[in-house]
Structure 1
Amino acid sequence: MDGRTRLGAVLWVLVAQYFVLLFVVESRWEVPYSWARNAISDLGAATCFQSDQVDRWVCSPWHVVSGVSWTLAGLCLAAGALLVRPLFPDARTARAGLLLLVVTGLALAVVGLNPEDTSRTLHIAGAVVAIPVGEVAMLLTGLALARTARWRLLGRIGAGGAIVAAVALVLMAAQVGGPALFGLWERIAAFPVLLWAVVCGVALPAKA
């Protein structure tokens, strides 16, 4: 494994800061923040407002931290996908999946740079691309790994996680459970691809 590939794996591991800083930013809220009701984007809201979707006050004092974290995670995901190619099988599914991970990362960066309340159109556009494209990317890279003897289990976990995320996306779009469950479905739909990058960044170089 050369230095470029190792750097790509490190960049994917750095995506983990996304989850750490979610808890940090949430801890600064003065009103209760619910992972079931609140949208992820509420943590990055630049102003305080009454949310019609969750019928509660949204005010995130450390919203800048969220924006920086999401942007950094997106750039790490995209750049890492360009560099870790040698760790994956030489297959069309792997190449397509990695390309879609680049798209996912760039879309996540758009989300981070555009808060939901001040740049709503770009924010929504980034999220609409990042979540479903990320799920397809995770499915393809998982299937590519599942076809190898060494990474069969990891690949199946990735493909299975992508399917679970896709089901959650459908449930979110169908508004199953109403506003009370919007945040839950969104997290199940959006988080797996980021966790997948972190896991691959740790696991794949170990046996490269």
Structure 2
Amino acid sequence: MTRVRLAGALWALEILFFVAHAIAQAAWTVPFDPMGYAISDLGAVTCFIEPSAGREICSPAHVVMNVGLIVAGLLMAAGALVFPLSAQRPRVDRLSRLLLVIGGLGCAGVGLAPEDVALGPHTIAAIAAMVVGNIGLALFGYALRPSRVVLGSAASTFAIVGLGGVTWLIVLLVTGSPMRYEVGGLAERIAAFSLIAGQVVVGITMIVRATHRAGTALDTPPASSLPMGR
């Protein structure tokens, strides 16, 4: 397996995050509104009433959600380290990989430090995942664009959408808007889902392209076997 295929597979497997999210959400025994509830609520290990909102948080499948976060974060970091370096923009590419590794470790940290166990580390890890990770993906897409314009632009677009979600969430939290309990979950999901979906798209595309190139190379006869021109 080439480095491109391996890296692509690592990022493509981040789709497991969405599977874990769906399982954890389906396991809730109280009404769950993804517009208002945070992703972190699905990873809370205890059942409690959120004081500021007066709503119940209880996630029976919190282990699934936290494992999904940890696995997705490690896959994000590993894929960033394995992808071959861009020849056209190596400095930008190196910076993007560093930021994606930080973002991946942040994502894993969110799962390792649930909100009701270690809120401080959990918050820092979430910022690293959503802010640093999306910036890293945007730069990764920029580094790709000289040779892969469509794919690089798609990666950067996913990241920009994600950063838009981050900005919206920050505004809701900083202003103390009561709307944070109604749409804060949506803003967070735009930030996190865009980051991971962007990498899944890049990963799958890289695998398909590498497989197609390998197949084309196998179908092309060696130069020595081609008929000679007169």
- Tell me if both proteins adopt one fold, taking TM over 0.5 as the criterion: yes
2:150 maps to 1:153: yes
Q: Trace 1:17-96 onto structure 2 (pairs within 5 A).
A: 17-86=16-85, 88-91=86-89, 92-96=91-95
Could you say which residue in structure 2 is the equivalent of 1:185? 187
Residue 85 of structure 1 deviates from its aligned partner by 2.2
Question: Among 199, 204, 207, which residue is 2:206 paired with?
Answer: 204
Report the Cα offset of residue 107 of structure 1. Answer: 1.0
After superposition, the Cα gap between the structure-2 partners of 1:145 and 1:54, relative to the gap in structure 1 and judged at 3 Å, is farther
> After superposition, what is the alpha-carbon deviation per residue over 1:119-154, rounded to whole angstroms, capped at 9, x for unaligned?
111111100111100111111011122232xx2122
Q: Deviations over 1:154-198 (max 9, x none)?
A: 222222222222122111111163321100001111211111111
Aligned length: 204
| Residue 53 (structure 1) shift | 4.7
Identity %: 38
Which string of whole-angstrom CA distances, capped at 9 and with x for unpartnered residues, describes residues 3-30 of structure 1? 4442222111111100011011111101
2:24 partner amino acid = V
Supply the distance in 1 between the matched residues of 2:28 and 2:53 (Cα, whole angstroms): 16
Map 1:90-129 to 2 at 5 A.
90-91=88-89, 92-129=91-128
Q: Which runs of 5+ in 2 are unaligned?
A: 211-230
Instruction: Tell whether the 8 Å contact from 2:155 to 2:202 is kept in structure 1 after alignment.
Output: no
Q: Is the 8 A contact 1:54 1:180 kept in 2?
A: no
Q: 1:200 corresponds to which letter in structure 2?
A: V
Other structure's SS at 1:118 match: coil
Greater displacement, 28-37 / 47-56: 47-56
> Is the CA contact 2:154–2:198 (under 8 Å) kept in the aligned structure 1?
no
Task: Look up the SS of the partner of 2:49 in the other structure.
Answer: strand
Q: Does 1:195 align with 2:194?
A: no
1:16 corresponds in structure 2 to 15
Q: Measure how far apart 1:90 and its partner are.
A: 4.2
TM-score (norm 2): 0.83
- TM normalised by structure 1 equals 0.91
Letter aligned with residue 201 of structure 2: V
Matching residue's letter, 1:162: A
Cα RMSD (Å) = 1.6
Q: Which has the larger radius of gyration?
A: 2
